[in-house]
Amino acid sequence: MPHSSTPLTDWQLHCARRTLLQGGVIAYPTEAVWGLGCDPWDVQAVDRILDLKRRPMEKGVILVASSIEQVRFLLDPLPLELQREAEKHWPGPVTCLLPDVERQIPEWVRGRHSSIAVRVSDHPVVRALCNAAGMPLVSTSCNPAGRQPARSIWQVRRYFGDELDWIVPGDLGGSRQPSRILDIVSGRQLR
């Protein structure tokens, strides 16, 4: 489904990229709800997101990418049939649980799990952010634990005010529900 999101200006992308690469936390529109994001390899940035959300590290968070190539390092160690299973859902609003067989993702992202939740997005803002940062990003719903995910920029501001380093403008995609979560090993849909 095409998105009505206005493309980000070069300045907006520059500010978001700089914020991410300096360990900042951003809010940005995704397919269905606003998300919080950061550099997944920056433990302090991930800790800030978990603190903002009041979410325990053990639960883990999702990684979002702009392309299959951006997460190829997680797919390559898997058997070909599992790679194909994940790839057939992307790009799009499906999050796949991929076994992290080589432990490439830090525990502060993975949580207590042996798999990592990954989505290759077709949302233009998400794709632009991941491309600008040159990596997949943490993507978790923009809300404190127990509250409804933000569906507007005013909700983002109401929840977190100036605790965020940057709010990336844009429109949500056409999905009404957060992404489906699919375990590619068992085939079970978890959300």
Average pLDDT, the chain: 93
> Would you state the structure tokens that stand for residue 136, as one six-digit string?
């997949």
Q: Compute the distance between CA of residue 116 and CA of residue 103 in angstroms, rounded to an integer.
A: 10
Q: Compute the distance between CA of residue 116 and CA of residue 131 in angstroms, rounded to an integer.
A: 20
For residue 98, CA distances in Å to 30, 78, 82, 113 come to 21, 8, 8, 10
Confidence band, pLDDT 50/70/90 cuts, at residue 3: very low
Domain range annotation of the chain: 10-183
Is the per-residue pLDDT at 177 higher than 80? no
pLDDT score of 175: 84
More confident residue, 137 or 189: 137
pLDDT score of 7: 76
Q: Pick the range with the lowest mean pLDDT from 38-47, 134-143, 173-182.
A: 173-182
pLDDT score of 179: 74
pLDDT score of 6: 53
What's the whole-model pTM score?
0.93
Query: What is the rounded average pLDDT of the residues 111-133?
Result: 96
CATH topology of domain 10-183: DHBP synthase (3.90.870)
User: Could you read off the pLDDT of 35-87 as tens digits, one per residue?
Assistant: 999 999 999 999 999 999 999 999 999 999 999 999 999 999 999 999 999 99
